[in-house]
Amino acid sequence: MQHYSVIIVGGGQAGLAISHYCQKYGMHHLVLEKNTVMNAWQNKRWDSFTLVTPNWQCLLPDHPYDGSDPHGFMQREEIIDYLNRFAEKVNAPVLEHTQVQQVSHDGHRFQVVTSNGEFTADQVVVASGSYQDPIIPRLAERLPVSVQQLHSEQYKNPQQLQDGGVLVVGSGQSGAQIAEDLHLAGKQVYLAVGEAPRCARFYRGRDVVDWLTEMKYYEMPVHEHPLREGVRDNTNHYVTGRDGGRDIDLRRFARDGMELYGKLLDFDGGCLRFSPTLKSALDSADKTYNAINERIDQYIERAAIEAPAGGRYQPVWEPPQERETLELAASGISNVIWCIGFRPNYQWLDVPVFNGRGYPAHTRGVTGFPGLYFIGLPWLYTWGSGRFSGIDQDARYVVEYLVSLAKSRHWKQSSGLYSLA
């Protein structure tokens, strides 16, 4: 049975960032990837996908964005190229097409069982992310077989859908952007709106991300956030980098023909049923939008910065009433796209590190179980932890911690590699 100082589960950007630093510190390691390196970016993003943060925030280890448009937003193929070049640069020891089936600890070392054999490790870093199992509600089973159903990770473009209307369920980043993609393609879109907040793309002459960076918001560690660890459960604000970047305003979509409803509750007797929450959802999203801009206003005033005038967003459309039912057949809906997220799946991890809600308990990725770590999770440490901007900082911290643990356990260095004494 082959032994490694460190085994990394997951071959995305977070896992390769850990490999980058393991190589710098001479840690004998192996990356296990159930598909292929960067698989999600290559196979689980729609064709018109763009970054929602400016390119200059792409700061993977020793691999910052090096293109000609730092304040632009890379499109899907450009992102894939950026990540492939990072993977080539790291040249990690990766075992692809290897499903991790169990990770346990026998009191001495970690036992790692995979579809490609068994391994042991002194330490394990989980870099598989939190987007494992797509969420599709049970009511989907009751929809007619004639209705094409996709999860957001399966959506590619409007051409793959059947003729007829499209119900998009969920209005977070994916739902709002996919609804826009379909709307711009001329599809009749019905959008079940959830509780996701929104923010401006540009405000007072600059990208909002630039303002918030200057305001040090992205440096705030999770323990200093007003919500503390609760912020990890928050839905991302919807905005887009498409066509150079712009706001996503669901009210404008409705004004231009998109049909908005509240949360989807059920399907019964040929009728879709929604909660009467559309107005409150739109108002809440706009409240967040204006609150972020107000904080920018306050910063500009305190710092005496010259900037174009600002102002509050004023709604361009209001729902005439709350519509709680929709006859499926009469609506012409022949497609449903589920954009309600993912569930983490750590059933293979047989180590007591979870908080009772399926989420690992940790501090900056370091769990209470010696030698077990997480990387690449939302707000692992800061806002950027689940994004290209914060992975470098997190990976460096985790690897420096595991190296120090290796030394504190009186491991010795042999041929430049740490191993058990």
Query: Tell me: the pLDDT tens digits for 295-322?
Result: 999 999 999 999 999 999 999 999 999 9
Q: Of 160-174, 228-242, 279-293, 377-391, where does mean pLDDT reach its minimum?
A: 228-242
Distances (CA, A) of 414 to 22, 120, 138, 238, 410: 15, 18, 55, 50, 13
Give pLDDT, residue 358.
Answer: 79
Mean pLDDT of the chain: 94
Q: CA triplet 296, 300, 305: central angle to 5 degrees?
A: 145
Ramachandran angles phi, psi of 219, nearest 5°: -90, -5
What are the CB-based long-range contacts (under 8 Å, 24+) for 408-411?
A: 411/122
Per the CB < 8 A criterion, the answer to whether 19 and 88 are in contact is no
pLDDT digits (tens, 9 = 90+) for 39-97: 999 999 999 999 999 999 999 999 999 999 999 999 999 999 999 999 999 999 999 99
Give pLDDT, residue 419.
Answer: 40
Give pLDDT, residue 410.
Answer: 53
Distance CA 219, CA 8 (A): 26
> Other C-beta atoms within 10 Å of 251: how many?
19
Q: CA triplet 285, 290, 295: central angle to 5 degrees?
A: 130
Q: Inform me whether the pLDDT recorded for 414 exceeds 60.
A: no
Distances (CA, A) of 54 to 65, 160, 210, 334: 10, 29, 9, 36
Q: Inform me whether the pLDDT recorded for 148 exceeds 90.
A: yes
- Bridge partner residues of 150 (DSSP): 337
Q: Where would I find the H helices in 54-172? A: 76-90
Beta strand ranges found along 131-258 (DSSP E): 133-134, 148-151, 165-169, 189-192, 202-203, 206-207
Give rounded-to-5 percent helix, strand, coil for the chain.
35, 25, 45
Q: Inform me whether the pLDDT recorded for 145 exceeds 80.
A: yes
Please report, as a single letter, which amino acid is at residue 114. Answer: T
Per the CB < 8 A criterion, the answer to whether 121 and 7 are in contact is yes
End-to-end CA distance of the chain: 18
Strands 189-192 and 372-374: unpaired
Strands 2-9 and 94-95: unpaired
- Determine what percent of the chain is predicted with pLDDT higher than 70: 97
231 confidence band (pLDDT: 50, 70, 90): confident
Q: Inform me whether the pLDDT recorded for 404 exceeds 50.
A: yes
Please report, as a single letter, which amino acid is at residue 173. Answer: Q
Greater pLDDT, 224 or 2 = 2
Q: Inform me whether the pLDDT recorded for 417 exceeds 80.
A: no
Distance CA 184, CA 410 (A): 62
Reduced to 3 states (helix: H, G, I; strand: E, B; else coil), residue 223 is helix
What is the DSSP secondary structure assignment for residue 65, as one 8-state letter? -
Per the CB < 8 A criterion, the answer to whether 336 and 143 are in contact is yes
Per the CB < 8 A criterion, the answer to whether 221 and 199 are in contact is no
Task: Domains for the chain: give ranges and CATH numbers.
Answer: 2-132+344-419 (3.50.50.60), 135-338 (no CATH)
Per the CB < 8 A criterion, the answer to whether 179 and 347 are in contact is no
The H-or-E segment that residue 267 falls in is strand 264-268
pTM exceeds 0.85: yes
Q: Inform me whether the pLDDT recorded for 222 exceeds 50.
A: yes
Give pLDDT, residue 232.
Answer: 77
